[in-house]
Structures are given as structure tokens and as C-alpha cells.
Amino acid sequence: MTTVRFFMIGMLFSLLAAPLAQAASGDERILLSAGGIVVTGQDLQQELLLLTGPERIQALATPDRLKNLLRQIYLGKRLTAEAERLGLDRTPLTQARLMAVRRQTLSEALREQAEERIEPPDITALAREHYATRRDEFQLPDQFRAAHILKKVRCDCERDPQRQRIEQLRARLQAGEDFAALAKTESEDTESAVQGGDLGGWVKREQLVAPFADAMVKLEPGQVSGVVETQYGFHLIKLLERQPARLQSFEEAQSGLEERLRKTYNQEQLRKQAASYMPGADAKFDDPALEAVLQGR
């Protein structure tokens, strides 16, 4: 058994190392056979071509995973053979579907080849020009880090009792209790409570409900608001940090901007190529034939 295991591992790694471009060269080794159906090395290589690099490594990581992949290939071949035996490959609908898949596959292959052949412009120069002429795109708004204590109001019957509870918590804060410690034990926003009420990360005003945001922006770092009512209930808000609005530097924006411009440029080149394949000015429709189609003749 150990010998067989090492043989299988050796074989699968040799398959992994084999150039996948040779998938069509005809590896006729039979890797699995049953019921008159065989799965060959060529079948496997063709299947591997359809996987991403990480998926390919996973599929060939162990003998069991390789066997599972071979079973899936076998199943596909068995189902195909049965459909052909029943003549399903010759029905008009199946023929139309096969033709559509062929068109789509070849069209995608052409698009991929065209994308590989696109000559990239000087993206950094384009990015600098874009940054210089559209600086408003890189204006960062005020950003805030805040924490809160929440008492939820699920119905009108809870409004007065929860208002009383939040007022009591406010009094405890005014008496000197620690905000984070109180949030951990009293806040009903369970996600932020474990972080001492911290909402986590920087937020922009427009990301928050209006009453909460309006109260928060009036605070200085370290200050705690009065009781704020929102659709969620009653809050006590503490502003942790404020980052004033500023212009993002080119160096900060460069990576994302270049990626966006590169993607836009490639899409435009592909769009132009696709347009070049559309019928031109010399295109002619056979109107009588079209009319016959519309008439069902």
C-alpha cells in the first residue's frame, strides 16, 4: 500500500509539472476506466486547463483529490455518452445550445488574446495628468472614529424605560465612570460593545443616520454627547478621533488610480475592437427574407 501511495504521489506531481499547453498532444494513459468509459491523461490535462492555479494545486495535492477529480471527469463523459446514445445531441435545441457555447467560447478566446496584445500606455503619466486636472476626486471628507452606548427601542412601550436607563448611564459617565467599560456591560449594540463601544475604523458623516451624525460632528475628541435618539433607540456618543477634510496626495492615490485608468483603457480598446467586427456601412439586409421570417414563412 505504501508503495502504491508513493507511486500515486509521484505520478500526480509529474502531471502538475507537465506543461499544460501540451494537453492536446495526446496523453493516452488510462487513469480510470469503468463500464466501457475511460479517462485518459489527455482528459485530465484538458480539465486542468479550466482550473485556476490554486485550484490545480489543490486538485493534485493528494491521491484522493486526484481520484475525485477523475471521478468528476468520468461522470461528465458517462453522461455525455448516454445523451449521445439517446440521440439528444441531434435535437434542434441541443444543436443550438452547442453552437451558442462554441460561439461564446471562441469569442472569449479572441477577447483574451486581444487583451494580452494591448500595448499599455504610460499609466503613471496618465495618472499624474488625471490627478492634476481632477483634484476634486481626491478630496477626502471629514472622517471620524466614534464609540457609542445604545439602548434599543423596539416598540413604544420601551421608549420611556429605555430613555430612563440611558439617562442613568449618562449620569454615571458624568460621575467619572469609564465610557468603554460602561459600553461593554450596558450597550445593547453587541457588536461594538465588546470593543468598548468603538464603531471600528474611520467613518464619514454620510455613512451614519442623520441624528447620530449631527450630534457626533459637534463633539471634540474625548467629548461625550447628550442623549441622542435615532430609529434604533437612544445613544450616548463619544468622539474618539477626528480627521479633517484634506486633499489626498498623489502618492496615496497612485496605486488605485493607475489600476482604474489601466482597466478603463483596456475596456475602451476592447470596445473599439468589438465595434470593428460589427456590420459596416456596406451591410445589406434582405427585406423580403426578413418579412418572410416575421410572417412565419
**pLDDT on residue 25:** 58
Inter-residue contact 142 to 179 (CB < 8 Å): no
Rounded-to-10 torsion of CA 224, 225, 231, 232: 20
The candidate with the shortest Cα–Cα distance to 273, out of 103, 101, 104, 113, is 113
| CATH code of the domain made up of 142-244 | 3.10.50.40
pLDDT per residue of the chain (297 residues) written in tens, 0 to 9: 444 343 344 444 444 444 444 444 578 999 999 999 999 999 999 999 999 999 999 999 999 999 999 999 999 999 999 999 999 999 999 999 999 999 999 999 999 999 999 999 999 999 999 999 999 999 999 999 999 999 999 999 999 999 999 999 999 999 999 999 999 999 999 999 999 999 999 999 999 999 999 999 999 999 999 999 999 999 999 999 999 999 999 999 999 999 999 999 999 999 999 999 999 999 999 999 999 999 987
The C-alpha cell at 114 is 486581444
Cβ atoms of 234 and 163 within 8 Å: the answer is: yes
Looking at residue 1, its pLDDT comes to: 44
Residues of the chain with CATH 3.10.50.40: 142-244
Strand ranges (E), the chain: 30-34, 37-40, 139-140, 143-152, 203-204, 228-230, 233-243, 246-247
Crossing angle between the packed helical segments 250-276 and 123-133, to the nearest 10 degrees: 110
